[in-house]
Amino acid sequence: MSRELRTLSVPEGVAGERIDSALTRVLGLSRTSVVKLLEDGDIKSDGRAMQKSDRVTAGQVIEVLLPAPLNQDPIPLTPLEGLTVVYNDDDIVVIDKPVGCAAHPSPGWMGPTVVGALMAAGYTISTSGPAERAGVVHRLDAGTSGLMIIAKTDAAYLKLKEMFRDHDVEKTYHALVQGHMDPSSGTIDAPIDRHPKEDHRFAVVATGKESITHYEVIEYYRSVSLVKVELETGRTHQIRVHFSALNHPLVGDTTYGADPVLGKKMKMSRPWLHALELRFNHPITGVALELVAPYPPDLQASLALLSEAVLP
């Protein structure tokens, strides 16, 4: 299998870090993969093989002989009718992701993907990061709708990864949760990791990754609350796990304990969750961007059912 030789200039955001840590973040490879490349002499600077203990400097030129991809098949093109592009220029594209579309290809997923849909529509996507996740700097679950940024150039990819790591991208979600949140605003600071017994789920655990969620109730209904959610961190299933841990699971989210009867009455077959707003400075030009995606039809229809005639 052919292997790609990539030459990169160390961004300021990782200056001073050990080479294994820096490349894990810049290239999107696992630390194990980076360490293996270092041990094999496949990472060099100024013609010298680098060691795990070496620290990088801003602007340092590094050559990496990337590992052969596990799957050399091209990313499947998955045309998606009605794909909504909210913002597009030479460096990034922001879409309003529909429900039922995954961020990128993964084992077992047979449906459309954001990467596959954009490529099918003729968009150029950055080649940085793992091949199957090209251009993806943050993800939304297949069952979550709303705004998602994809990098079109390697420079934009590296800068956006740095911005998300430093919490320089503000993300606002709206969620409909069971019960009345009390207090009406607050911060959920609870570490998250994989569920110890169920691989498809995540859970609040003592040794998990730092996860911080801020919320504010927008409106109380008879037995549910519409809340605005802002993430300080972005872990897998973070919003769903955090509200479930407070005994206020998202309406329709039966994976995390939602009442299936209520979900059926509100015609929700997926978690009531939407990535509504993104606020950030453009990774290349620095121009301030504030983007909004309206609720999709299924969430609008669900809200229309919020009456005493529907809710118990």
- Which positions are catalytic? 141
Phi-psi region of 91 (alpha: psi -120 to 50; beta: other; left: phi over 0): alpha
Nearest CA to 126 out of 111, 115, 141, 112 is that of 115
β-strand 145-151 against 61-65: which pairing, if any? unpaired
CB atoms within 10 A of CB 236: 14
User: Cα(153)–Cα(275) distance, rounded to whole angstroms?
Assistant: 24
Buried b (16+ CB within 10 A) or exposed e, 15-48: eebbbbebbbbbbbbeeebbbebbeeebbbbeee
Q: What is the largest CA-CA distance in the chain?
A: 73
